Structure 1
Amino acid sequence: MASRAIKLTLYSSSTCSLCTTARENILRVQKKVNIHKPECPKEMADKYIFDVPVVHMNDQFLMQHYVPEETLLEAIKKFESTGKVERVGA
């Protein structure tokens, strides 16, 4: 079975403790998936300025505020088996 390409994007702030936790969890999961970090588009920065951390998977909203490692892994596994991004929370 071929693996599906996954791109996670984290919109964050350097002063947000939830963002730090989300980043750490993504970095731990990174060993299992390929994560790309593009420059933050202005429209996304404007949209999420007060709602970080926000995680997108393949340019679709996945979750925000709390990004538990296990929940992130479950979402990735679900995407790999179905090809669909399913929102978590929010």
Structure 2
Amino acid sequence: PTLFSKDPCPLCDEAKEQLEPLRHRFVLQQVDISLPQNAVWRQRYALDIPVFHLNGRFVMKHRVDLQLLDSLLRDEQGTGGQEDN
């Protein structure tokens, strides 16, 4: 998963803590939307962080839905990470 965030972001910190039960199943990539090279993401998500993507697709924002993420991770493992676009 990818976390779109900035620093400081107390809601993002809280979201990362909520991910802990599943952290052994993925590597979390973080995108700091306040950096100049991430201006597109800042425009898109400035008022919505934390925002999560999985495999380049929007999954959730504002709060972590562990059941949804667990299900998506299981689906990904079942397909070997391959997706049809």
Partner of 1:3: none
Q: By percentage of residues, which structure has more helix? A: 2
Deviation at 1:49, TM superposition (A): 0.5
Q: For residue 53 of structure 2, give the secondary structure of its aligned residue in structure 1.
A: strand
Return 5+ residue gaps in structure 2 as ranges: none
Aligned equivalent of 2:25, options 8, 13, 32: 32
Per-residue deviation, residues 12-64 of structure 1 (Å, max 9, x unmatched): 242343x2232112344221223333555221122100011110112211111
Larger Rg: 2
Partner of 1:15: 9
Instruction: Kindly report which structure 2 residues correspond to 1:66-81, keeping only aligned pairs within 5 A, or say none.
Output: 66-81=63-78
Between the aligned partners of 1:60 and 1:22, the Cα distance in structure 2 is 18
Alpha-carbon distance change, 16 to 39 in structure 1, aligned in 2, over 3 angstroms: closer
Return 5+ residue gaps in structure 1 as ranges: 1-7, 85-90
RMSD, matched Cα:
2.3
Q: For residue 34 of structure 1, give the secondary structure of its aligned residue in structure 2.
A: coil
Fraction of identical pairs, as percent: 24
1:42 corresponds to which letter in structure 2?
A
Between the aligned partners of 1:12 and 1:81, the Cα distance in structure 2 is 29
